[in-house]
Amino acid sequence: MYHTINASCKELLEEVFFQESSEFSKEDGTPLGVTASGTVIGYETLTDEIRVTVRTKFRLLYVDENGFFFSRTAEKESTRSVRQEGVTPSSCVFVSATVCDVNKKGNNPVLCQATVRLTGWFLQERELRFLDVCSEKTFCKSEPVPVESLRCLTPGGLTLSFADETKMNVSSLLDYSAQATVSNVYPSQGMYRIEGDTYVRIVAQNEDGACFSQLFSHPFSTEISDESVSPSGEIDVSVSVRDVVVSLSEDDKRNVIFDLTLNFEATASFQETVESVRDVYSVTNVLNVEESDATLCTGFCFRSLRDKATASVTPKDGANELFGILYGGITASYTKINGQFFTEGIIQTQLLYKNGKDRPVSLTTEIPYQIALPVDSVCNTRLQPEVSVTNLSARLRNGGEIDVTSELILSVKGLRTETVHILSDVQIGEPKEPDEYAVTLYLVRSGETLWDVAKALNTSEEILRAQNPESGTLSGGEKIIFYREENNS
């Protein structure tokens, strides 16, 4: 009489923001700019809570009295709490950390502070009970209900090592950052293959003391085994950069070596169509019906695109020479304007230049952006944009104006949901009082079906068809005659 199905759904985590800081001691140089990166290195799932361990790495750039650059790094680890109703100790989760902004204060020591944003998802496990078979004393109307069930797959990791050539000789590395994106996922029997790209941006100093930046992009591919995967499954994969190390070759000053560690978390969706009783009544007895509206996940949407954001700034103290640009952080949120979704935010950068007095200085700049989201209209709830900056460039114009360009990768995730009316239980109650009228003339209301009329008259569709053979598809204002007999039920 009842059918229980797995209706697990991927839910987006509520965003959490926190501040992290680190101090740098006095160096033989002037602090110019600071960068920061956040990495989730572990988590623990509890009841309605995820405790996330985050490593925040700061890198402070200095310039000495001879005009040469050098950098120092510091790391901070902390555990943060993400409160989320529905999380259990056995929940499958994915959490990522993004730096929104970074700044520095003071000279000795230098206090560096960053705002870090935690986002992600968890798999909320739940079961739904449908009424799928009626008893002999009831009439039932059933309809197919599509339900998507999600399952967490075996997580995976990938270590990448590759070398590439810079556009000029490098004397020292000053800063670097890495991003990774997934472009395709191919399921097959017992495994799935992931394809994507890594982006590593370096800031370096050449042998003449000039500062420059360069972007390196490399594809990756890996296979992860999981017995539950089938070729017909739909798989969604989240990727994060667990660690990145960039070093210089000892033999070639233009050869840079990259070592990256990637982590993958994936879910597979399985479609199931359930025949569910949507309405029920009895001719002879009062029914006690348990019913409710349930929101079912019918899909997890994912879209991505590339875009650019630009801005121009004119330093008040003048700009004679541009050294480079550092990435500070990014914010991202979404809004809806005239039915169209947009993601918008601020990209923080730090320009390194010589001012009008030929002194090396830095200037924090902000690049606003707004991008139309390429999300299907059926992705109707809990959109969560993730924006990655893959490259930054700056150009000094005549007159001291500096043009800044940021290359972006926008990834948007969201849910497709459908609200369905569910009957989960029916109990036979007291006998009904018999109707005292032998004949009833029923005036059909607009939108009513023969089922609705039979339920209102406390009879069956078959009896109404037999007594009104000329009636086909009902329309508003049509008359239905019902001759009541003792045994018509």
The list of the chain residues with pLDDT below 50 reads 377-378, 487-489
Distances (CA, A) of 104 to 57, 108, 109, 360, 449: 14, 11, 10, 16, 71
CB count within 10 Å of CB 317 equals 13
Question: pLDDT digit string (tens) for 210-265?
Answer: 888 899 999 999 999 999 898 887 888 989 999 999 999 888 889 999 999 999 99
Q: Are residues 308 and 183 in the same domain?
A: no
Q: What is the pLDDT of residue 190?
A: 93
292 within some domain: no
> Which domain does 263 fall in, by range?
139-281
383 within some domain: yes
Q: Are residues 246 and 345 in the same domain?
A: no
Q: What is the pLDDT of residue 298?
A: 62
Q: Are residues 118 and 160 in the same domain?
A: no
41 vs 39: CA distance, rounded Å: 6
Q: Are residues 207 and 266 in the same domain?
A: yes
Q: What is the pLDDT of residue 375?
A: 53
Q: Are residues 119 and 1 in the same domain?
A: yes
Q: What is the pLDDT of residue 489?
A: 45
271 within some domain: yes
187 within some domain: yes
Model confidence pTM above 0.75: yes
278 vs 293: CA distance, rounded Å: 11
Buried b (16+ CB within 10 A) or exposed e, 98-107: bbbbbbbeee
Q: Are residues 397 and 457 in the same domain?
A: no
213 within some domain: yes
Q: What is the pLDDT of residue 487?
A: 47
12 within some domain: yes
Q: What is the pLDDT of residue 145?
A: 79
Q: Are residues 314 and 363 in the same domain?
A: yes
Amino acid at 465: R
